[in-house]
A and B are shown apart, each in its own frame.
Chain A
Amino acid sequence: MTTTTQLPVNDVALSVRDLKTFFYTNKRCNKAVNGVSFEIRKGKTLCIVGESGCGKSVTASAIMQLLPTLSRIEQGEIVYHSERGDIRLDTLERNGKAMRSIRGSEIAMIFQDPMTALNPVFTIGFQIAENLRYHTAMRGRQLMDKAIDLLRSMGIPAPERRVEQFPHQFSGGMRQRAMIAMAMACNPKILIADEPTTALDVTIQAQIFELMATLKREHGTAIMLITHDMGVVAELADDVAVMYMGNIVEAGTVDEVLRRPSHPYTRALLDSVPVLGRGKNQDIRAIPGSTPDPFNRPKGCQFADRCAYKLDACETALPAETHLSPTHRVMCVRHEEFANGVRS
């Protein structure tokens, strides 16, 4: 159902094509990710935005093959364009050797809450060294030296002392830096960050994002950044994908999506937060209504119940995906009007 324009392949680090991931709980099926396609470009940042429960984390977990046991990749492909050639991640055994050798070394992940994502009973140094031990030839003293270097380069003061401390002895921001140090240990090609700052306070958030921008610049790491925050998107993203109820309803470069938002949901999201560069007197409106029950989804456009522009045609079938430009695509019956019209 999707026709993604193929970028020159050597620009792309990872492609996801028509990915469907379903959950099976109590004999009911939750189509958590229902056919999404996107590409992560080498050295670029793709931001995935959308409300809670739209399937952002499930998409990330699917890439890493870290899905809970009651869920499964139903359809689609996830291709990692490695230096050794293309690898179909979705066909690899979940915790098999091939998948493990990619996890943590070529594709790394950081999570929302660094307090719970770090093991409380092991030192920070141990947890970083573990990553190195499994993916590099480093041993013994080298491991700790490298861990100290990593902590230092993430801006953690007194890394020689910090490396021997436990997660609970770190502040929230420091913990997330340590987490990033761990993820960056083997200099991965792709870093997946699932709401890495939601658990942190605002000033710390800015520091973490600055750190990620630096990493991207210095190491050429491609980043898939999951966030709720449109402000972050404006700051960091090269590409944006807007998710709603398991679909990418709009995607494109950051300019395309932020300047010419062509899906009512994208517009609603943009209206619900202050965006940098759109002046001081912004009209901030919360999105009316709430997301539908995942077990009882609308037949047509998933956003129909909350959309002010709904037509009868919207409710008959899932709107087709249309390309407004080679990179800009949208899933809305009335996209033409929105794409051409000035912002409401």
Chain B
Amino acid sequence: MLAYVIRRVLIMIPMAVAISFLIYLGLDATPGDAVSFMLSPEQMSGANPERLAELREALGLNQPLFVRYFIWLWGLLQGNFGYTLTGGVPISDLLARRLPATLELAAVALVLSTVFGSILGIISALRRGSATDNTLTVVGMVGVSIPEFFFGLVAITVFALNLGWLPVGGRSMPQYITFWDRLPHLVMPSLVLSIMMTAGVMRYARAAMLDALNKDFIKTARSKGLPEWRVNLLHGFRVALTPVVVLIGFRLPALIGGSVIVEQVFQWPGVGSLFVLSVRNQDYPVVMAVALISVVTVLVVSVVIDVLTAIIDPRVRLGN
């Protein structure tokens, strides 16, 4: 098992390197002087052209592409993402402030959609052909086909503006101390963000569950005199779980993409809204940093999903 985890992590590294290189190429090709985002505003101010040329030499910016890339990568590994073009703030500071907000939103949405999607999928499968099943199927189809911003705007209109139950947006207020204080702010964005994924997980869980329930071992389980809940949930869902977990892994990038929109709609101060802001300001170093973070997150999560699959499926764990 440990060997498997280590192998998966080792496979991830070259992928991360390849992707970071592509991102560096993008960054390198963007207009503007690379020096401008690699130096703090203090260093920049009062620097005359000769001084800048010296700095460029010192930063290795006159070196060939590959060398420049490795210098950049080395900086990244030490947490040095450079400075924003607009305002000259260290990008790492920005990320440190905004990343937790996004992670919180995404994690809550992930948990919600996994739990609700699985439960609804199981119910649908166990009652296949019933009114419940048909209703859930239709709702699921609507769920995957309507964009998040629409749900977001409807939710704001209804629950914040008309009913006044929940705040319109934002994440926190100065007087808030605990997580529970902030919870009302989290409700709408996380629910809206989870809708699409819930619908996807539900459809998949239903199919996987139906597939599992058709297997011979279900008949065996019944032939042993086990109660129905155990036959369906322990023997059925336990086997259906593997494809569901794999699907969740596949859908994760969509969740991250969705968070860009949801953060925008609910003014959630996360990486997603930072991304939109930076694109608008043509602040390429920030855009690239966010892209890099997203890609690395997806990579890490995919490894986690693989390891999880191996844990829940002995054929994967012991087969290799």
Give chain A's interface residues, CB within 8 Å of chain B.
64, 66, 95, 99-105, 108-109, 111, 113, 116-123, 130-131, 134-135, 166, 168-169, 179, 182
Rounded to whole Å, the gap between the CB of B210 and the closest CB of chain A is: 13
Once the chains bind, are B225 and A102 in contact (CB under 8 Å)?
A: yes
Asked whether B130 is an interface residue with its Cβ less than 8 Å from the other chain, the reply is no
B41-98 at interface with A (beta carbon < 8 Å): none
Are A95 and B314 within 8 A (Cβ)? Answer: no
Residues of the A chain whose Cβ atoms lie less than 8 Å from the Cβ of B182: none
Residue of A nearest to B312 (CB): A121
- Contact in complex: A113, B315 (CB < 8 Å): no
User: Shortest beta-carbon distance, A65 to chain B, in Å?
Assistant: 9
- Say whether B225 contacts A119, CB under 8 Å: no
Measured CB to CB, the nearest residue on chain A to B224 is A104
Kindly identify which residue among B217, B223, B225, B318 contacts A135, using a CB–CB cutoff of 8 Å: B225
B206: Cβ under 8 A from any A Cβ: no
Give the nearest-CB partner of A106 in chain B.
Answer: B225
Shortest beta-carbon distance, A176 to chain B, in Å?
A: 12
CA distance A66 to B235 in the complex (A): 16
Q: How many angstroms between the C-alpha atoms of A239 and B239 in the bound complex? A: 40
Further 5 A-B residue pairs, CB within 8 A, beyond A119-B217, A119-B221, A121-B313:
A121-B314, A122-B235, A130-B221, A134-B227, A182-B220
Contact present for B224 and A103 (CB under 8 Å): yes
Closest chain-B Cβ to A170's Cβ sits at a distance in Å of 12
* B219 pairs with A111, CB closer than 8 A: yes
Q: With the chains together, A322 CA to B319 CA distance in Å?
A: 57
Residues on A with C-beta less than 8 A from B242 are 121
Inter-chain CA distance A182–B223, complex, in Å, is 11
B224 CB contacts on chain A under 8 angstroms: 103-104, 108, 130-131, 134, 182
Name the B residues within 8 Å of A131 (CB-CB): 224-225
Would you give the shortest CB distance from B214 to chain A, in whole angstroms? 10
Q: When the two chains form their complex, are residues B220 and A118 in contact, meaning their CB atoms are under 8 A apart?
A: yes
Contact for A113 among B216, B228, B238, B312, CB less than 8 A: B216
User: Are the CB atoms of A117 and B217 closer together than 8 Å?
Assistant: yes
Q: Which residues of chain A are within 8 angstroms of B227 by Cβ–Cβ distance?
A: 95, 100, 134
**Cβ–Cβ contact B315 & A103, under 8 A:** no
Q: Chain B residues with Cβ under 8 A from A120's Cβ?
A: 217, 239, 313-315
A103 touches B313 (CB 8 A): no
In the complex, how many angstroms separate the beta carbon of A132 from the nearest chain B beta carbon?
10
CB pairs A–B below 8 angstroms (7 shown): A100-B227, A109-B220, A116-B217, A122-B238, A130-B221, A166-B318, A182-B224
Q: Which 6 pairs across A and B sit closest by C-beta, in order of nearness?
A: A104-B225, A104-B224, A103-B225, A116-B216, A119-B217, A100-B225
A117 touches B216 (CB 8 A): yes
**CB-contacts of B196-232 with A (<8 A):** 215-217, 219-228
On whether the beta carbons of B225 and A168 are closer than 8 Å, the reply is no
Cα of A121 to Cα of B239 in the assembled complex, Å = 7
Interface string of B281-320 (1 = CB under 8 A from A): 0000000000000000000000000000000111100110
CB closest residue in chain B, given A111: B216
For residue B318, which residues in chain A have a CB less than 8 angstroms away from its CB? Answer: 166, 168-169
